[in-house]
Structure 1
Amino acid sequence: MLRTLEIRDMLIIDHLELSFQPGLNVLTGETGAGKSILLDSLGFVLGWRGRAELVRQGAAQGEVTAEFDLPDAHPAHEILEEAGLPGGDTLLLRRINTADGRKTAWVNDRRCSGEVLRALSATLLELHGQHDDRGLLNPRGHRNILDSFAQTQDLLVDVRRCWTAAAKAQKSVDDTRAALEAVRAEEEFLRHAVAELDQLNPEAGEDEALDTQRRQMQGAERVRGDITRAHSLLSDSAESAMGDAQRWLDGVRDISDDIGLDAPMAALARAMIELGDAQDGVAQILDALDFNPLDLEACEERLFALRGLARKHNVLPDELATYGDTLREKLHALDAGDQNLAEQEAALAKARAAYEAAAETLSMQRHQRAAVLDSAVMHELAPLKMERAVFKTEITPAEPGPDGIDAIAFTVATNPGAPSGALNKIASGGELSRFLLALKVCLRGDGDAKTLIFDEIDRGVGGATADAVGRRLRALAQGGQVLVVTHSPQVAAQGAFHWRVQKQVVDGATLSQVVPLPEGERVDEIARMVAGDTITKEARGAAKALLTAET
């Protein structure tokens, strides 16, 4: 419920504070007094797109603040939580518009975007005018109205869940079919390539190992002869010479011990040991270089085969093993694809059947409750002096979707024998207003906590019809909050709270004011609405009669 509205420096309003109440709140005033400015300002703080220039001339910025009560179960709490904004039992909206057009908004003193404001406004307030296109004139909104009356929320949740499941199952089938078709197109290549890879059986790192082995064997042919000659010299000439030298020196030492042969003889012994080590090392190298020429040929053939297959498939030789695994997976998917596709198609059929059953249940509920809605609206039309009109909810098959299988449109015939047709083609402005009121009264109590605003919805009607409109508005406000901007005295008399919008000139500037009316001034305001500028005794009597009649 809207509690307060404070406006500063917007159009012809310098400063205005309003406190609204539950029930029917009535705003009256002469044409041009500024009633539409109130709605523009309220729409501004709620993030609605409206006039481009709202700041009062000469002011640096305009500001609007609105305070709403939020019950615990109000849907605005979910939006606040999702946006990371503070909640509570009170919602304070504030928005500023600078003279250069920049706009800044706060929710409970936390900065927010216009998108958040608009999301909140959808849960807080509903504005209806004579040319309302939010529900009645827009056939796309008729289904929502019927569903609200029929209380199909749980059925709709089930239908949307089944629709999502069926869409997901359809996507799985489509993806599997596309994948199978793509694999089948290259099946011959896959089987041939996998056979080649299986025959070659490449291993990771094999290319480098083969290349190293090949280089070693190629190098061995060049160096083996030199190493063999060196080994021969070490084994034959060097060993024999050193052995002869050792024997000659031993003979000399046997003859004479004091000529200093101990050190040279020890060195020669160490040299003989080192020579043995050298002989063993060179022998080992010769053993390592000893290979069969056929091994070199086999190594080169394997290496060339790996590199040739890698070039063929445009991968690195070390990637052949992984590439082969990928091709095998594709073949496996192809071989198992038909079975997978059959299983997915069965799941899709099951999901579609579940959707069709849920959609059919929803459709049956809509058909049943549509008849009740038609009867209820017809009952409400009688007090609105449209007892001869016919209201009918037409439900026709529609393309299946997340909201079911029904296309819903409200049709009317305003006179007996006249053909029925769409509301926006048949009903006049005044008639449309009364159809809207009838629907709103029928939908009252559906759990919607919105404040309803009717902007001159009674235009084009008068007398007993205007009185009936006012009574419907008052009934609609029971247990909730309704704001109505009206020029009709019959409607104004039904209000529980009455404000007059008026203009006055202050220091050469025209300003708009909104004044709460006590009972005595209320009589004069309604009398003005009856008689015009000159309030007569008869007009006051008529005003008192209207106010008395509403009780």
Structure 2
Amino acid sequence: MLRSLSIRDFVIVDHLDLEFDRGFGALTGETGAGKSILLGALGLALGGRGEAGMVRRDRERADVVAEFDLPERGGLRAWLAEHDLVADEGSVLLRRTIDAAGRSRAWINGSSVTLAQLRAASDWLADIHGQHAHHALLRPDAQRALLDAHAGARGLAAEVDTLYRAWQQLVRLQAEAEARSANSARERELLGWQVRELDELAFDASEWGELNAEHSRLAHAASLMEGADETLAGLGEGELAVCAMLRHFDSRVAALTEIDPSLTDVRELLCSAAIQADEALHALRRYRERLDLEPQRLAEIESRIAAVTGVARKYRVVVDDLPELRTQSQARLHALEASSDPARLAAEEARARKAFELAAARLSALRKPAAAALSAEISDAMQTLAMAGGRFEVALEACAPAATGLESIEFRVAANPGQALRSMAKVASGGELSRIGLAIQVMTSRASDTPTLIFDEVDVGIGGRVAEIVGKLLARLGEDRQVMCVTHLPQVAACADWQWRIAKREQAGETLSEVRTLEASERVEEIARMLGGVNITPTTRQHAAEMLGRKAPGEVAGQEAKA
């Protein structure tokens, strides 16, 4: 159940911290006092649409926090564990903010989440039935979704949709393969040549740098040899060779250092220079020994470079992209070969069709008993809603295979005895539509595991004895779950276990909304207001007390004593 709701700077609410009770609660108040705003804030916390207009004037952001008990039934506990969102004390904390620019953020149990994740978690916690929900029930997709939810088949319905689309994709591939068979053959032939040519080239991107480095060395071998010989002569040959002179000067300064130790640093530098010159001399000799003119190898490398650049130029790519071209061409060739194999495509299409048909048959098997049960339940409910003799039917008609299954689904109604069943979309009376829609919402909610149900003025269009029956239906629904209803009907509010009054107040030139929990005597006054409007008489209070099943204090009791 919903434990608490904290609202900050939302529309005309400055701040509210609300604690909720179990059972059936009624939210009442004058029109425009903010009853639906309260549910709008809860809807925001549950992942509803957010916009900048929800932020109270001159405030930076609106902030809503809703705390729920963690339901024992359903998959929320496992879902939270899977997403590392588990909280202590068996509760679920949902938070949502909207800033003045319309940007939204969401949290579950203190961890930042996406809006999709917030909505997924909310599906296990609460359902909000809006005052125009019965109009949505006129749409075929809404009727189908409601039946599948009632049958516990939403997951299977999604699977059927996926399988159907996969099957139709293969059907399209078959048709496309037949249409392009001639062009495909020519393209496969060209791609085959291209792949074979690239395979024969056997070019690797890492090879290109090595080829160019070796080509540069061989192409300049004569210059390299000449420069190496000249340097070797200067370093190691003759009396004026650099290495010999460095060793001579090192010896000379060593002798001087014995006289003046301050020359030690100079001597160390000369010694280091002599050693490095000797190492350079030996390294250059080794290099020169393996350096030679290799005209044959140079010709081979130039031929390889010409072959690689020629293929790259042919296919209009840079040399480095040749391996990727080969991969793409091979993949395209495989795809064309696969799509041009009618036997393989036919086998895949048959398997996909069979998988769809099996899943769709399972879906039909779940829908049929659920449709019969829902038809009976709604028909029974209509008898108590001033529609005696009325009938309701969830009609399943076989249809061509579709993403929605093997049958079309239509809600049909006969509002009066002797009338033929007709599509619910053709029900003329708005009052009848309201009552039927309410019956559907209440009956389908009874089969739901959702622990908190909220009805926002779903009793619009009814009154009198029917309103009292609706109140009793909601009260029975509240026996095993938490139910809240925004209502203007005293008959409905009188059936509630607890009642809040939402009102407006003026503060510093602003209109703000406030919520008051009503005690027993206050409930009599509120029900009397709902019954009698501006001028509340003792008779009105007496009637309100009778509706609540108890006497009003003070005036009503005194009048009874006088009588």
Task: Specify the SS of the correspondent of 1:387.
Answer: coil
Residue 18 of structure 1 aligns with which residue? 18
Residue 70 of structure 1 aligns with which residue? 70
Q: Deviations over 1:353-382 (max 9, x none)?
A: 342243234325423432332122101111
Q: How much has 1:25 moved relative to structure 2? A: 1.0
Structure 1 residues 405, 505: closer, same or farther in 2, change over 3 A? same
Structure 1 residues 386, 338: closer, same or farther in 2, change over 3 A? closer
Matches within 5 A, 1:279-298: none
Root-mean-square deviation over aligned CA pairs: 5.2
Residue 40 of structure 2 aligns with which residue? 40
Structure 1 residues 189, 2: closer, same or farther in 2, change over 3 A? closer
- Looking at structure 1, the residues matched to 112 and 335 of structure 2 have their Cα atoms a distance apart, in angstroms, of 56
Q: How much has 1:24 moved relative to structure 2? A: 0.9
Write the letter of the residue equivalent to 1:523.
Answer: V
- Looking at structure 2, the residues matched to 163 and 43 of structure 1 have their Cα atoms a distance apart, in angstroms, of 34
Write the letter of the residue equivalent to 1:21.
Answer: D
Write the letter of the residue equivalent to 2:437.
Answer: L
Residue 122 (structure 2) pairs with residue 109 (structure 1):
no
Structure 1 residues 334, 424: closer, same or farther in 2, change over 3 A? closer
Matches within 5 A, 1:100-499: 101-132=102-133, 135-152=136-153, 156=157, 159=160, 162-163=163-164, 166=167, 170=171, 182-186=183-187, 341-398=342-399, 400-416=401-417, 420-426=421-427, 428-499=429-500
- Looking at structure 2, the residues matched to 327 and 74 of structure 1 have their Cα atoms a distance apart, in angstroms, of 48
- Looking at structure 1, the residues matched to 57 and 466 of structure 2 have their Cα atoms a distance apart, in angstroms, of 41
Contact 1:499–1:515 at 8 Å: present in 2 too?
A: yes
Larger radius of gyration: 1
Q: Deviations over 1:37-84 (max 9, x none)?
A: 212222333342366433444555443221112225444456656766
**Matched-pair identity in %:** 38
Q: How much has 1:351 moved relative to structure 2? A: 3.0
Q: How much has 1:423 moved relative to structure 2? A: 3.2
Residue 8 of structure 1 aligns with which residue? 8
Write the letter of the residue equivalent to 2:481.
Answer: G
Write the letter of the residue equivalent to 1:542.
Answer: H
- Looking at structure 2, the residues matched to 201 and 528 of structure 1 have their Cα atoms a distance apart, in angstroms, of 93
Contact 1:469–1:491 at 8 Å: present in 2 too?
A: yes
Q: Deviations over 1:314-364 (max 9, x none)?
A: 599x99xx99x9999899979986995314412421331342243234325
Residue 516 (structure 2) pairs with residue 545 (structure 1):
no
Q: How much has 1:493 moved relative to structure 2? A: 1.1
Task: Specify the SS of the correspondent of 2:54.
Answer: coil
Contact 2:134–2:438 at 8 Å: present in 1 too?
A: no
Task: Specify the SS of the correspondent of 1:362.
Answer: helix
Contact 1:9–1:63 at 8 Å: present in 2 too?
A: yes
Structure 1 residues 387, 182: closer, same or farther in 2, change over 3 A? same
Structure 1 residues 400, 15: closer, same or farther in 2, change over 3 A? same
Task: Specify the SS of the correspondent of 2:148.
Answer: helix
Write the letter of the residue equivalent to 1:527.
Answer: A
- Looking at structure 1, the residues matched to 190 and 37 of structure 2 have their Cα atoms a distance apart, in angstroms, of 75
Residue 503 of structure 1 aligns with which residue? 504
Contact 2:388–2:416 at 8 Å: present in 1 too?
A: no
Contact 1:420–1:426 at 8 Å: present in 2 too?
A: no
- Looking at structure 2, the residues matched to 367 and 488 of structure 1 have their Cα atoms a distance apart, in angstroms, of 37
Residue 263 of structure 1 aligns with which residue? none
TM-score, normalized by length of structure 2? 0.67
Residue 524 of structure 1 aligns with which residue? 525
Structure 1 residues 531, 148: closer, same or farther in 2, change over 3 A? same
In structure 1, runs of 5+ residues without a counterpart are 213-298
Residue 539 (structure 2) pairs with residue 535 (structure 1):
no
Q: How much has 1:447 moved relative to structure 2? A: 4.1
TM-score, normalized by length of structure 1? 0.68
Q: How much has 1:146 moved relative to structure 2? A: 1.2
Write the letter of the residue equivalent to 1:19.
Answer: E
Contact 2:442–2:473 at 8 Å: present in 1 too?
A: yes
Contact 1:146–1:366 at 8 Å: present in 2 too?
A: yes
Q: How much has 1:153 moved relative to structure 2? A: 5.1
Task: Specify the SS of the correspondent of 2:386.
Answer: coil
Contact 1:94–1:105 at 8 Å: present in 2 too?
A: yes
Task: Specify the SS of the correspondent of 1:53.
Answer: helix
- Looking at structure 2, the residues matched to 158 and 120 of structure 1 have their Cα atoms a distance apart, in angstroms, of 21
Q: Deviations over 1:244-274 (max 9, x none)?
A: xxxxxxxxxxxxxxxxxxxxxxxxxxxxxxx
Question: Which shifted more, 132-141 or 489-498?
Answer: 132-141
Contact 2:9–2:61 at 8 Å: present in 1 too?
A: yes
Residue 261 of structure 1 aligns with which residue? none
Write the letter of the residue equivalent to 1:533.
Answer: V
Structure 1 residues 52, 188: closer, same or farther in 2, change over 3 A? closer
- Looking at structure 1, the residues matched to 175 and 196 of structure 2 have their Cα atoms a distance apart, in angstroms, of 30
Contact 1:40–1:50 at 8 Å: present in 2 too?
A: no
Residue 262 of structure 2 aligns with which residue? none
Contact 1:455–1:486 at 8 Å: present in 2 too?
A: yes
Q: Deviations over 1:168-190 (max 9, x none)?
A: 75577578768965552257768
Q: Deviations over 1:118-141 (max 9, x none)?
A: 444444332223322685133211
In structure 2, runs of 5+ residues without a counterpart are 216-299, 551-563
- Looking at structure 2, the residues matched to 330 and 54 of structure 1 have their Cα atoms a distance apart, in angstroms, of 52
Structure 1 residues 524, 362: closer, same or farther in 2, change over 3 A? same
Write the letter of the residue equivalent to 1:409.
Answer: E
